[in-house]
Structure 1
Amino acid sequence: MATKKQKTDKIGIAKFWGWQSRAVSLGSMTVIYGYLMIYCTNTLMLSPELVGTLLLVSKLFDGVTDLFAGYLIDNTHTRFGKARPYEFAIIGVWLCTWLLFSCPAQWSYAVKAVWVFIIYSFVNSILATLLNTNQTTYIVRAFPNMSQIMKVNSYGGIVVTLGCAIVSMSFPTLMGTMATSGAGWSRLVGIYALPLALIGILRFVLVKETVPVDADSEGKIKAKEVVAVLKNNKFIYIVAAMSILYNITLGMNASSYYFTYIVGDISKYMLIASLSMPMLLVMFVFPVMMKKIPISRIVMLGCVCGAAGYLLNFAAGSNIVLLMIAGALYGLGGLPIAYISGMLILDCAEYNALKGMARAEGTMTAFSSFGSKLGQGIGSALLGVLLGAAAFDGNLAADAQAESALIMIRSLYSIIPAIMFMLIFITLYFYKLDKVLPKLRAEKAAEGNS
């Protein structure tokens, strides 16, 4: 019996690494997009308020396409499966990312602003949306049981963290020497774009949809069924709220400004990024924790860690040792949200099915993804608007910046993210699905036996 269980829990090496490949690729894109604001303000010479507004408007549009993508994937039926065909979007993601960071600096102010808005919107509203939305639908059809899915999300997180850490450490180091002009930025991003596009497409090549799901026999999901699940599943709103708050923190991403203007050396951010390496060990603990502690509570524990780390940032100033301790704390705090909170969406889809509604994994994922995109947009807008309000000037060196600008940069890297983590903790306090699902499963089993 034990041997049979071990066999069903085993994931092939090619399949395991294939699944992580696209996550590494898309995660690396997120790392690089964290430098978009400073590229726009310091190279393209666009005002931070304008850039923040453009990114926010783009994310609002993104929310509409998220819901459409969820409906599209729920109603896709091809010989490659429901979700797998959309993996080709990763090629477009990297081509457009390179184009975004290749905007000629000599273009007019208005043309540069339009260029940034259009390409950023296309990447996030269309391409990345399809990749984010297909995740849940794909995983339940690629892996036959929850044990394998837990391993893919937890142990796989080690691979993703390691891959993204390489980009996080190398990018600011190369940025310090290469990103001194528009052409330098183009070459820098080009170094990453081609290999990461090839890595990203490996998921399509190596991971097939082989697991039958009951929802697949239901045919197309009607619009009224989508409305029904959004109306009757209150838990997905809590998951979306968590996504919004966490991604506000990611969207602000004031690290490039902090290490440029407070620490005085952007290349030193590599030391903070390198902390993700020892954190890989924590990922081995998640499968054990998830057997004993509800995922929502694990995320809440992470929030306490994250808030403490960001508050320490404010006291640290330019002290690298304190910044590294703070980085370890908030990095640790973000791991559960980044790598295992997606299983909350699976729970929401199961809740739908147990309540007699369509599973609608695509719609559930799209709704959470909408929260992520909205949060990123709000975060980017806050970064731009608050820097502008504090009199930040991308043409000035650190010693010439207004004191209000330096204080604002410190706050964006500390106090505001800490508040976001505290709000996530409060939000998840009301997530009770981990108590509701066992009862619904028992009722369903009893109906089947009667």
Structure 2
Amino acid sequence: MSNKSSMKTEKIGLLEKISYGGGDLASNIILVLASTYVSFFYTDALGLNPAIIGSIIMFSRFADGFTDVLMGYLIDKTKSKHGKCRPWILWLSIPIATAMVLIFMVPNIGGAGKYVYVAITYNLVVTFLYTMINIPYGTMTSLLSRDQHERMSINVVRMTMAQIGSLIINSLTLPFVNAAGGSGNQKSWIIVSVVYSIVAAFSFIACFVNTKERVTVAQEKQEKLSFGKSLSVCVQNKYWLMLVAVFLFFIFASTFNGAVGTYYAKYIIGDENVMGYLMSIMTLPAIVFIPVLAPLTKKIGKRNAAWIGSFVSLAGQALMLLNPASFSWLIVCNVIKGIGNATLNGTIFAMVADTIEYGHWKSGIRVEGMLYSSMTFGAKFASGIGNSIALSVLGKAGYDGLAAVQTESALEAIRAFYLYVPMAFMVAICVIYALYKLDGMYPRIIKELTEKGE
């Protein structure tokens, strides 16, 4: 094996960690706006059919899977003075911000024309541009440092910034839209998208400027890897497969909550504006709790922390059933969920970075780009399918965004996706974490890789 690695052991400074985390803040601004609020904009501002919108989103997510994996392969082949991942963040920062605004600038060109425009612009952002910037961004975690605790520290800052991005979107979007003219006014959404896109672009650029890739692996063998061989290396990594399943199930649970959350607030609680408060109150505990994860995981391990967090999140979801139409009770439940979700979000990507080392140790081949991109494919697939399923079921249940009163079947569908379905996925996550054993093996893996000069 001719793979050799070089890595400076310099400690990563706070500015670099915050700048790297700013990339996730930007990613979350784009992702949450595109996954949580765009469908509401399409149905309630433009009056488009939710079933058709759901089909467009489903197609996008299938296509997204191919672009994710292809992007990971391209990262593993990228060679530049800026590294493997950072150049992509620079190149895509302005295009994705511009395209995000275009999503909301749907022209008045008739029903069929609107659907065509939606399909083109939604896919441009989600299937192509978001993939081309977010896959390199996520892969960078394994290239900033090889130290397990330093990676956890990086990930803590990253997840804190991500939660801040979610907090901004979920707490300000609908009030901002309503202040600009109302959720039924297209111009209001355009104004909001412009502001958010500017913030995202500057955050991405700061991420590029203030970060540095330190982990490098000689490419003699890597360059000869075929696409199929790279995928084969991924599927032989059992701990990575476990984390793919965890992330997929977590995204399914979160997507169903988010996809119908605004509808739930509007029709079950009786006020669409409380959606922002419900999501924000779930984010605030995360911002407070995530910073303590680094010392916590150092003491009990990342897997144990994540396992406990999954049970906490499940408890918060289950408690909603006691008083599902009470805004105040849902606030309490979402605080509990927020703590559990913070643990899951705060550990998952640091754990993925560990599986990259495990795969390198097991196979002698390092394919961080493919490992990360294939994982995010599962997450995006879950997000897209979840949104599509929820919107399709709402459409078949008789939901009409322009109607003052919804059918009982539509209301039951909203309740099911917000309350019951996410619980099943959280149970599955608890089971998977019970089988995850990599934490105890990691020091030996790194020791052996270092001794072999890999």
Query: So what's the TM-score if we normalise by structure 1?
Result: 0.90
Contact 1:225 1:357 in 2 (8 A): no
Q: Deviation at 1:365?
A: 0.1
User: Structure 1 pair 101/443, CA: closer, same or farther in 2 (3 Å)?
Assistant: same
Q: Distance in 1 between matches of 2:265 and 2:106?
A: 25
Aligned match of 2:412 in 400, 407, 422?
A: 407
Q: Deviation at 1:38?
A: 1.2
Q: Deviation at 1:404?
A: 1.8
User: Structure 1 pair 431/144, CA: closer, same or farther in 2 (3 Å)?
Assistant: closer
Determine if the alignment matches structure 1 residue 265 to structure 2 residue 271: yes
Contact 2:148 2:354 in 1 (8 A): no
- Which residue number in structure 1 is paired with residue 223 of structure 2? 220
Q: Deviation at 1:322?
A: 0.3
Q: Distance in 2 between matches of 1:251 and 1:91?
A: 27
Contact 1:90 1:127 in 2 (8 A): no
Q: Distance in 2 between matches of 1:261 and 1:407?
A: 11
1:37-436 superposed matches below 5 A = 37-87=39-89, 88-104=91-107, 106-143=108-145, 145-177=147-179, 178=181, 179-209=183-213, 211-216=214-219, 218-223=221-226, 224-252=228-256, 253=258, 254-275=260-281, 276-397=283-404, 400-436=405-441
User: Structure 1 pair 221/372, CA: closer, same or farther in 2 (3 Å)?
Assistant: farther
Q: Distance in 2 between matches of 1:369 and 1:260?
A: 31
Structure 2's unaligned 5+ residue stretches are: 1-7
Q: Which amino acid is 1:376 matched to?
A: S
Q: Deviation at 1:139?
A: 2.8
Q: Distance in 1 between matches of 2:272 and 2:51?
A: 22
- Which residue number in structure 2 is paired with residue 20 of structure 1? 21
Q: Distance in 1 between matches of 2:339 and 2:132?
A: 28
Query: So what's the TM-score if we normalise by structure 2?
Result: 0.89
- CA displacement, residues 121-167 of structure 1 (integer Å, 9 cap, x when unaligned): 22222221122321354233334633322111113422332343123
Contact 1:48 1:387 in 2 (8 A): yes
User: Structure 1 pair 232/156, CA: closer, same or farther in 2 (3 Å)?
Assistant: closer
Q: Distance in 2 between matches of 1:232 and 1:219?
A: 17
* 3-state SS, counterpart of residue 280 of structure 1: helix
Q: Distance in 1 between matches of 2:445 and 2:419?
A: 42
Q: Deviation at 1:441?
A: 4.8
Between stretches 14-23 and 362-371, larger displacement belongs to 14-23
- The number of residues matched between the two structures is 438
Between stretches 33-42 and 436-445, larger displacement belongs to 436-445
Between stretches 93-102 and 370-379, larger displacement belongs to 93-102
Q: Which amino acid is 2:271 matched to?
A: D
Q: Which amino acid is 2:154 matched to?
A: V
- CA displacement, residues 88-137 of structure 1 (integer Å, 9 cap, x when unaligned): 32322221111111212x32222222222222222222221122321354
- CA displacement, residues 295-340 of structure 1 (integer Å, 9 cap, x when unaligned): 2332222222222222233433332210101111222222233232
Q: Deviation at 1:68?
A: 0.6
Q: Deviation at 1:55?
A: 0.7
User: Structure 1 pair 114/54, CA: closer, same or farther in 2 (3 Å)?
Assistant: same
Q: Which amino acid is 1:432 matched to?
A: K
User: Structure 1 pair 8/185, CA: closer, same or farther in 2 (3 Å)?
Assistant: same
Contact 2:357 2:445 in 1 (8 A): no
Aligned CA-pair RMSD: 2.4
- Which residue number in structure 2 is paired with residue 3 of structure 1? none
Structure 1's unaligned 5+ residue stretches are: 1-6
Q: Deviation at 1:347?
A: 1.7
Q: Distance in 2 between matches of 1:444 and 1:156?
A: 27
Q: Deviation at 1:436?
A: 4.2
